[in-house]
Amino acid sequence: MQFQQTIRKPVTCSGVGLHSGCRVSVTLMPAPLDTGIVFIRKDVSGSPKIQVSIENIRPSLLSTTVGIDGVQVQTIEHMLAAASGLGIDNLLVEIDAPELPALDGSAQSFVSLMLEAGIVSQDRRRSYLKVVRPIEVIEGNKRIAIRPASKSSVTYTIDYAHPLIGRQTYDYDWSRDAFVEDIAPARTFGFLQEVEALWEAGLGLGGSLQNTLILSEEGLLNEDGLRFADEFVRHKILDLIGDMMLLGVPVIGEIEAVRSGHALHARLVSRILESRDNWVLVPAQAPVSAGRLRELPPSLVASPQRD
Ligand SMILES: [Zn+2]
């Protein structure tokens, strides 16, 4: 993808927020060049705008939240993953509650909605943040790192003492098709014994078998079963792809995450932005027609770094 992209026309969906249990309606709208992703809380007086950026991240358990001046939007990661996976850079997101709808607990419905709106190229090249030296964040036995590479990829490992999960590792090569088919359908998950504690903390109030894989001690409560045997680790990659949107530009590098989660994903984004010597901003390469390609010496014909 060489040029910035947005959607062609507004599209709306509604549902229930996973943690707040609030009914919420969301309208995705086209946005001008260099907007990034901006939420508009139209249920709050003055309709405040909240830019998706690491400066606006707010402390939050089990989800990613952005806010400004006391106004927040929670559980943004699945919608952001859909935008990132489809290569959408600029989007206005009108919302009438403090949390995105859970829908089916994956990014699939947001992907369908964005494809229904249509995706259009805009009149300016994308910039990429290309990592040139490794950057790592470690917290106990959790770890996430990004290393220089010519293409973007993620290797994610999770390790849960549960018979259906155990240790799962998934290698994801960043591409639109791989995202839509292999990552977007993976649903969020939770453990039955944690549900009561969540409720006491005022979280998970909208959670149900319609939007969450719920694990009992031995198995899965969802009667239809899993979409993939390793749906759990795929969902962690989905979350990471969404959280990396906090950078503000797409990243080029090889990410390795072990037992990571939203807080560590956000710490990696912060660490990247602070480590100014460890990356460069590069413009997307100029498109080259087939005819012109034949005239160029092979050394000048670089392959696209990310689609
Ligand atoms: Zn998630």
Cβ-proximal residues to 63 (8 Å cutoff; 6+ apart), any chain: 18, 19, 74, 75, 76, 77, 262
Instruction: Report how far residue 105's alpha carbon sits from residue 208's, in angstroms, rounded to the nearest whole number.
Output: 9
CATH class of 3-125: alpha beta
pLDDT at 142 over 90: yes
> Is residue 82 predicted with pLDDT exceeding 90?
yes
The mean pLDDT of the chain is 91
Give residue 292's pLDDT: 42
Arithmetic mean of pLDDT, 166-173: 97
Residues of the chain above pLDDT 90, percent:
83
Q: Does residue 306 register a pLDDT over 80?
A: no
Q: What is the CA radius of gyration of the chain?
A: 19
Cα(61) to ligand 1 centroid in Å equals: 12
Q: Which fold has domain 128-283?
A: lpxc deacetylase, domain 1 (3.30.1700)
pLDDT score at 61: 76
Q: Provide φ and ψ at 306, rounded to 5°.
A: -160, 140
Using the predicted structure, report yes or no on whether residue 13 has a pLDDT greater than 60: yes
Q: Which amino acid would we find at residue 123? A: D
What is the distance between the alpha carbons of residues 124 and 5, in angstroms, rounded to a whole number?
9
209-268 residue pLDDT tens: 999 999 998 899 999 999 999 999 999 999 999 999 999 999 999 999 999 999 999 999
Note the pTM of the prediction, 2 decimals: 0.91
Say if residue 15's pLDDT is above 50: yes
Q: How far is the CA of 78 from the centre of ligand 1 (A)?
A: 6
Domain with CATH 3.30.1700.10 in the chain: 128-283
The residue to which tokens 């290393």 are assigned: 147
> Residue 286's pLDDT is what?
58
Residue 134 confidence (pLDDT): 98
3-class DSSP assignment, residue 148? coil
Q: Residues spanned by CATH 3.30.230.20 within the chain?
A: 3-125
Cite the active site residues: 262
Q: Rounded to an integer, what distance in angstroms lies between the CA atom of residue 135 and that of residue 247? A: 14
CA of 236 to the centre of ligand 1 (A): 7
DSSP state of 181: I
Q: Label residue 111 by pLDDT band (50, 70, 90).
A: very high
Number of H helices, E strands in the chain: 7, 20
Distance CA 301, CA 305 (A): 12
Distance from Cα 243 to the centre of ligand 1, integer Å: 10
